[in-house]
Structure 1
Amino acid sequence: MAEIFPVETRGVGKPDYSREVSAGRERAGISLKYNQQLLAWGLCWTDMVGYPQDPAVPWVKPRLVPGAPAHLIDFATGVAVPYVTPAGYTFTMVQKDWTFNEDVELWLYGSTPSEADGGSLVLIACPGISPSGDNVYVNPVYTYTSLTLDPTSAYSHSWDVVVVNKGVGDMEGGIVFAAIMEAVGTSPFPDTKQCRCPLCHHLQTVKVGTTIIVCANCGETYYVQDFSKIRGL
């Protein structure tokens, strides 16, 4: 006859798959620290609207012709990259997402120190080549970051993302790159930004939180975005 004895109960009585579920999520999300700021660049090409729109949107463009390159637009300022991260700040790319109706190549360029401080942009990586413009969303583990080039953030850096239409027709679609800039023992982020009018290309200094801008040069209105208050997505 088998011995009968009490057995200590442990756990909650069912398997705990929380780690596996968390690790398997398609979108991990972003939670920013007080010394971090979200950056987002992109472009949208379409013939769905007339140009210029009223109000204008700097990153919305007519279709991209075959063979043409295009630099991404900073959503917060309307200024095309290269984007400069000053000395004392790190840069880490956290997301890339695109969809097109033509073959496309994406190229990432960088400079240490930045072009503004005498450096030269060089090709760093190919973030993507998409035959027929397949939809791609990536939330990478190993990513493009200044930490592997300049661990102490002693230098400023320039970053540039170029899209090339390698198809045979005018390209329609869109792309977004997201990155985190982090202050490393430096002064806080500036409270102003320089925005470029998509109509007359005038550069204008406004408060960081400004999203609707009346151009001081041509008087037209255009939109930009504000990421300064985002702490989590």
Structure 2
Amino acid sequence: MDWKFLEGLLSGVNKYSTAFGRIWLSVVFVFRVLVFVVAAERVWSDDQGHFDCNTRQPGCTNLCFDYFFPISHIRLWALQLIFVTCPSFMVVLHVFYRKKRDREYRAKHGEDTGLYDNPGQKHGGLWWTYLMSLFIKTFFEITFLYLLHYVYESFRLPRKVQCDVKPCPNLVDCYISRPTEKTVFTYFMVGASVVCVVLNVCEIFYLVAFRMVTLKRTGSVHTSSRKVQAEPGLLFPLIQPILFI
């Protein structure tokens, strides 16, 4: 898989991310993608070839391996990295859409006009898109952590497993290649994923708290600048920053 292409796409997300988002992106590439490409793939490269069972029954070793490893750790982590990084593209696409609308508006009404002061500023619809991408990333992280724990019953790989699936003649012992090293990498990748979940949750709270403070200040400015009676149109200036795409 060409991880450099993915890195090039996600590098543009940095321009529209908060401090938590930039830390999250650094953790993803340094502690997950880099470790995945440089070390983890090599550790699991011999997982099936060195999976030994104390039997010569044809097909027994292959079926036992499939039983205990229905999906490889390395492939599951590859899917996880793809799914947790793709929601960030929603923000980039939304900014491109804003820039396109702004160019069309300027072409129609003149260069001195514009729909946005800064198309990459997180307000209105872009704020909702950014927040939604955080929820989706957090959901995928937790889902894949649960799948890894559910499929393998724990994050620790045993040294020996026992298998009695057909066509094995009886209960046979099978031995996993380098279980300690694989367990260390599993705990490392799980820990990095948990750190990413914490960063996403912190960023969600930061965005919500910052927006609440901004709306409170906006409401105070409108209230102090002019005393207006309660009318149906009074709420529009308050909700306009949220609904404006």
- Greater fraction strand: 1
Q: Please give the range of the TM-score, normalised by the shorter of the 2 chains.
A: under 0.3
User: Larger radius of gyration, structure 1 or 2?
Assistant: 2
TM (normalized to structure 2)? 0.22
TM (normalized to structure 1)? 0.23
